[in-house]
Amino acid sequence: MGINNLPDNPYLLLTPGPLSTTKTVKAAMLRDWCTWDDDYKTIVQEVRDTLVRLATNKTDRYTCVLMQGSGTFSVESIIGTAIPENGKLLVLPNGAYGDRIVQIAKTLKIPVVFNDSGELDPPDLAKLEATLKADRAITHVAVVHSETTTGMLNPIAEIGKIVKRHGKIFIVDAMSSFGGIPMDIEALGIDFIVSSANKCIQGVPGFGFIIADKELLMTCKGRARSLSLDLYDQWNTMENDKGKWRYTSPTHVVRAFHQALKELDEEGGVAKRAERYRANHRTLVDGMRGLGFRTLLPDAFQGHFITSFYSPESERYDFRTFYDRLKTRGFVIYPGKVSKASAFRIGNIGDVYPADMERLVKTIAASMFWQG
Ligand SMILES: *Cc1c(COP(=O)(O)O)cnc(C)c1O
């Protein structure tokens, strides 16, 4: 079946993620692949090498591990493997995904403390400094880069400087930002960074990936609190067996991801993709403000990956009706996730372009049923 025969999606997914992918990414899944033969293992190795290159210029120092499951499985594999028995984790949450890291640590019975700055504020750097000074038991610090709950882009460069000045290990959940904003993890002082297939690289869901300081990862042997999520052992098998996963790997999804990485390169790389996402975001926000909507965050805190808007204040508004109207007209949006305000969210990432955002704003203008 050629890609021209693939049906068009009835709507754009503005819900990262899963998000809208190209037909060519979906078409890459239309054949079956072994998990252990050389064709497939070569693809896995190319994916791992490409991801390290996207993360840093210091490629020798870092290595990449692919992990089955959704993004959370990969976060859990880091937390459960990187922190030794006598370690202690400090998390800087300001939304649901930061809270989830705390929850993972608690579930695994890892000592954890957290400085919660609230959903509408970035982490407090002075408080971070003070906590690290006061609590010498802390060995690792974790933060979310793009907090998908609100769309806030946390200042990982400033946080990393403080974490490194105190000699701690720095873990970053860059799930919804990696590949959509230029970064060099070596310059940022990051020891473990994590993202997944179905975010800014524009693949389909099924696995996550971790880019780690190689020497540090090698010290994690035998530490994991889970068999399936043993990050060290997964790496060791992939490394020694040149692209083999320990257990059944999501072959079709990896194949689609390999195609998605090729398309990222053809687009002009991460800087170009970031430009497109920024243009999507700008077009969306300008258009929505023109219609009278207000963004949840001030522009200074806002990333270009996902945007939260306050719900209209009319009593006649309800999200479900709004959602259904937009879905019938070709766009799927996200409900809000903040606890203290009524809001909805619109993703700017995926195979989506400023022209789509212009169409979306026009469609929203025609769907404001609460205005009588
Ligand atoms: C998507 C996402 C995750 C992972 O969520 P899954 O549903 O497990 O894929 C983690 N952190 C952030 C910031 C995310 O956006």
- Quick: pLDDT tens for 78-104: 999 999 999 999 999 999 999 999 999
Residue 34's pLDDT is: 80
Residue 127's alpha-carbon distances to 2, 146, 170, in angstroms, are: 56, 20, 17
Contact between 201 and 179 (Cβ < 8 Å): yes
Q: Which atom of ligand 1 is nearest to the CA of 73?
A: 8
Q: Which atom of ligand 1 is nearest to the CA of 145?
A: 13
CATH class belonging to 270-371: alpha beta
Q: What length does the chain have?
A: 372
Q: How many CA atoms lie within 13 A of 181 on its CB side?
A: 18
Q: Whose CA is nearest to atom 12 of ligand 1?
A: 175
Question: Does 180 sit in the ligand 1 pocket, CB within 6 Å?
Answer: no
Instruction: Name the pLDDT band for 152 (thresholds 50, 70, 90).
Output: very high
Question: Does 234 sit in the ligand 1 pocket, CB within 6 Å?
Answer: no
Question: Does 92 sit in the ligand 1 pocket, CB within 6 Å?
Answer: no
Is the backbone peptide bond immediately before 179 cis, with ω within 30 degrees of 0? Answer: no
For residues 180-192, average pLDDT: 98
Q: Mind listing the pLDDT tens digit for each residue in 205-258?
A: 999 999 999 999 999 999 999 999 999 999 999 999 999 999 999 999 999 999
Q: Mind listing the pLDDT tens digit for each residue in 41-58?
A: 999 999 999 999 999 999
C-alpha 134 – ligand 1 centre gap (Å): 31
Residue 1's pLDDT is: 52
Residue 212 phi, psi dihedral angles, 5° rounding = -135, 155
Question: Does 110 sit in the ligand 1 pocket, CB within 6 Å?
Answer: no
Q: Mind listing the pLDDT tens digit for each residue in 269-320?
A: 999 999 999 999 999 999 999 999 999 999 999 999 999 999 999 999 999 9
Residue 6's pLDDT is: 76
Q: Where in the chain is the domain with CATH 3.90.1150.10?
A: 270-371
Contact between 109 and 85 (Cβ < 8 Å): no
Assign domain 28-266 one CATH number from 3.30.2230.10, 3.30.565.60, 3.40.640.10, 3.40.190.10: 3.40.640.10
Instruction: Name the pLDDT band for 2 (thresholds 50, 70, 90).
Output: low
C-alpha 158 – ligand 1 centre gap (Å): 23
For residues 180-204, average pLDDT: 98
Instruction: Name the pLDDT band for 339 (thresholds 50, 70, 90).
Output: confident
Question: Does 144 sit in the ligand 1 pocket, CB within 6 Å?
Answer: yes
Residue 280's pLDDT is: 98
The pair of three-digit structure tokens given for residue 76, joined into one six-digit string = 């859990």
C-alpha 286 – ligand 1 centre gap (Å): 27
> Considering the chain, what is the average pLDDT of its residues?
96
- Its pTM surpasses 0.75: yes
Sign for the CA dihedral angle at 235, 240, 244, 248 comes to negative
- Whether the per-residue pLDDT at 31 is higher than 90: the answer is no
Residue ranges of alpha helices (H) inside 268-343 are 270-290, 319-328
Please identify which residue in the block is written with the tokens 């007209």: 329
Identify residue 81 by its one-letter amino acid code.
T
Residue 37's pLDDT is: 85
Question: Does 71 sit in the ligand 1 pocket, CB within 6 Å?
Answer: yes
Share of the chain above pLDDT 90, in %: 93
Q: Where in the chain is the domain with CATH 3.40.640.10?
A: 28-266
